[in-house]
Structure 1
Amino acid sequence: MPSSSADTPQSHDLEPRKGSPSPRMDEAEFKRRFLNQFQDQAYAPLTVELQRVADAAWDAYYNSRKSPKTRKAGSEFADPNYDLAIDWLNAREAIQAAEARHRDPSGPRRFLLISGSSRSEHTCPGEISKSYRLTKIAEDVLRQASDTSVEILDLSRLASEYGRQIHPCKACFSTSAALCHWPCSCYPNYSLGQVHDWMNEIYPLWVEAHGVMIITPVNWYQVSSPVKLMMDRLVCADGGNPDPTATHGKNAREAKEIEMLGWNYPRHLEGRIYSVVSHGDVEGAENVRRSLSDWLRFMRLIPAGPLAELDRYIGYWEPYATSHEALDRDEAIQEEIRNAALTLLEAVLARQAGHMIGAGARLKEPRSK
């Protein structure tokens, strides 16, 4: 972000604002919440052991040990002596390996297909989602092409798989772009029990991809809950700081000072090609498709083409109980999904061959947000 001579840290009040109530709890309430997860009778013989585990968990919480395993950052970072979390370093290494795969000219064309529904037969709904069925149609198309690799990210696993979570974004970016680390350093937070975060596995899938297709239902005029969680946690991919030592972890004032000196706003997913499909039964499909496309464009991903962006209604105003029958009958949308996948494939091939026109791509923007 450009800065003038008057636009310096000294010319602004950069002291972080405070005033929200403390979320801290006393030992009794902490242990009540901690032990509440062990309701099954299988834990009954382990009461003494669980009390000891609760004591240890309280100690970690009381002393705010967010990242108990760290090592010195080393010469690659602004502050080589800063203690970086091993979890974050492993996530960074996975992203770097994914970037190498993305850039490898001898590798396959890589596609990420994201099924955005939380519905599956493996939990309460008892039935597969239409989003997943549509995703499988796209997969079949892409797998038939030569020299392709296809990954499916099925976000319904957030609702059906043990230990599979995407924790909410803590909005560090709103304090300062430099405070939002790439990859996200907010999780895991062991002292708060904020573990099992899926995003460190999801980031490399986005990074290695040449083409991304998102297929989501409309949930109350919006994308589904899993898609929104993923979207918010991808904020660090758009302008996020790849060096947490520059801000000494989450030092808000240091981050503000860095931003005011001029932030280069790195676009970590720039140049990937995208396709989006939103489907509903009554209202909202157009707005969901548009909001997804706007989000991806803002992150400098490139639209594959008009046929790769769809908003459709399946079983319009028909009973939910027969929605899969409606999809069976709707051969047109099935063909449109195939066309969207083929369009995405063609766009990726064109970009790799240098034939995709990106008019204005080299122009410098006067502001980054």
Structure 2
Amino acid sequence: MSVKPRHGEAPQKIDRQTFSRRFQEKFVDPAFRVEDDAIQRLEEIAWEAYREGRKAPLKQAAGVGFADPEYELAKEWVQAQQSIKAAGQARDQRGSQSRVLMVTGSSRNDGSCPGELSKSWRMAGMAEEELSKAGVETDLLDLSLLTSEYGRRIFPCKACVSTAMPLCHWPCSCYPNHSLDQIGDVKNDIYPRWVAADGIILITPVYWYQAPSPLKLMIDRLVCADGGNPDPTSTQGKDAERAKEIELSGWSFPKHLAGRAYGLVVHGDVAGIEGVRHGLSDWLNWMGLIDAGKAACLDRYIGYYRPYATSHDELDADLALQEEVRNVARAVANAVLELRVKGLSQPDTPLQDPRPK
């Protein structure tokens, strides 16, 4: 069965003048003026790369183990896949040593405009203390660094999966795209950290009834971990029609992160905590992760309808909340320790999903 992709939405490439204006925005600092001639030469090279669509200028043959060993893959993708495999092997070889990936979703830290660290980061420290007491290693992924460090970003998901699941590659092959200046994406550094972990703890505030944008970007770009295609040569890169044919002939929807334990801490000051907690837990459940029990999924207000300026003081005073955060870590520690020994109970594992997606 063949289903043709539908076209007509995307505009034509931007013109040379627009390209030049956008390229020059990177060099608005007067200190660059001494290199205007060099910048102009670089712009010409970048324009040619854009016009020709040179997404991945550095490639290599896929090699043994791929559907098409001769197909040339982006070297960045090959390196990312190798890092994921190495992380998985290291996890398998750690013996009794357990690791939890602690993700803080706040955009705020004291190295950027807010000038103050986040409560999420503080609570991560409390949780890390309990994990350490239990002999569990912590890997802290602070997503606020996307706002305070040079050249760190997560680009949006392009929703390849909505065209056909096999078009969504594991790991994501959409970035970097050198022709569009879509570089510096840190997801290839994040994927192995998820793979290496036995458990995940997400600690996040609520922004306008939703998860903060850095956390949502990370979540969206993890869609490839749930059903993603580990062999881009099978779709000849981004051949949408071929990917549709593969899905319609039967796709297994592999869950690359299933079986890990998780815990959640969602905090707010006025509204929205339950909705965000439900959304995050539903997402993690969908990917096949296992909640570490009732105490592991927490939503709480800190300084409910109190001034923003004193929110850290409110956290200092709420000793019960601090203990609840520690309980999230304790529950996840218990779960991953059990996981390393005999595996967490998943009564629905043998069941066949009649609606895989």
State whether TM-score is above 0.5: yes
State how 1:222-301 maps to structure 2 within 5 Å.
222-301=210-289
- The unaligned stretches of length 5 or more in structure 2 are none
> What is aligned with 1:58?
47
**2:21 counterpart letter in structure 1:** R
Residue number among 158, 161, 166 corresponding to 1:173 in the alignment: 161
Bigger mean CA deviation after superposition, 36-45 or 229-238: 36-45
> What is aligned with 2:18?
29
User: 1:106: Cα distance to partner?
Assistant: 2.1
User: 1:357: Cα distance to partner?
Assistant: 2.4
Q: Secondary structure at the match of 2:141?
A: strand
State how 1:1-369 maps to structure 2 within 5 Å.
9-10=1-2, 14-106=3-95, 108-146=97-135, 148-354=136-342, 356-369=344-357
User: 1:352: Cα distance to partner?
Assistant: 2.2
- TM-score normalized with structure 2 length: 0.98
Report the Cα distance in structure 1 between the residues aligned to 2:223 and 2:145, rounded to whole angstroms. 22
Report the Cα distance in structure 2 between the residues aligned to 1:298 and 1:169, rounded to whole angstroms. 18
Q: Secondary structure at the match of 2:222?
A: helix
Q: Deviation per CA, 1:194-239: give whole Å up to 9, x if none.
A: 0000100000010010010000100000111111000000000000
User: 1:23: Cα distance to partner?
Assistant: 4.9
Report the Cα distance in structure 1 between the residues aligned to 2:229 and 2:46, rounded to whole angstroms. 31
Bigger mean CA deviation after superposition, 357-366 or 118-127: 357-366
User: 1:128: Cα distance to partner?
Assistant: 0.4
Report the Cα distance in structure 2 between the residues aligned to 1:145 and 1:357, rounded to whole angstroms. 21
Q: Secondary structure at the match of 2:27?
A: coil
CA contact (8 A) 2:167 2:229 kept: yes
CA contact (8 A) 1:101 1:107 kept: no
**Superposition CA RMSD, Å:** 1.0
Q: Deviation per CA, 1:3-34: give whole Å up to 9, x if none.
A: xxxxxx15xxx100011141511111101101
User: 1:145: Cα distance to partner?
Assistant: 2.4
Q: Secondary structure at the match of 1:57?
A: helix
> What is aligned with 1:5?
none
Report the Cα distance in structure 2 between the residues aligned to 1:214 and 1:130, rounded to whole angstroms. 13
Report the Cα distance in structure 2 between the residues aligned to 1:40 and 1:58, rounded to whole angstroms. 21
Q: Deviation per CA, 1:316-342: give whole Å up to 9, x if none.
A: 000101111111111111100111100
CA contact (8 A) 2:96 2:340 kept: no
Percent identity over the alignment?
A: 52
**2:288 counterpart letter in structure 1:** R
CA contact (8 A) 1:238 1:299 kept: yes
Q: Secondary structure at the match of 1:36?
A: helix
Q: Secondary structure at the match of 2:298?
A: strand
Report the Cα distance in structure 1 between the residues aligned to 2:290 and 2:169, rounded to whole angstroms. 24
**1:189 counterpart letter in structure 2:** N
CA contact (8 A) 2:96 2:341 kept: no
CA contact (8 A) 1:71 1:83 kept: yes
Report the Cα distance in structure 1 between the residues aligned to 2:71 and 2:266, rounded to whole angstroms. 44
Q: Secondary structure at the match of 1:37?
A: helix
- TM-score normalized with structure 1 length: 0.95
- The unaligned stretches of length 5 or more in structure 1 are 1-8
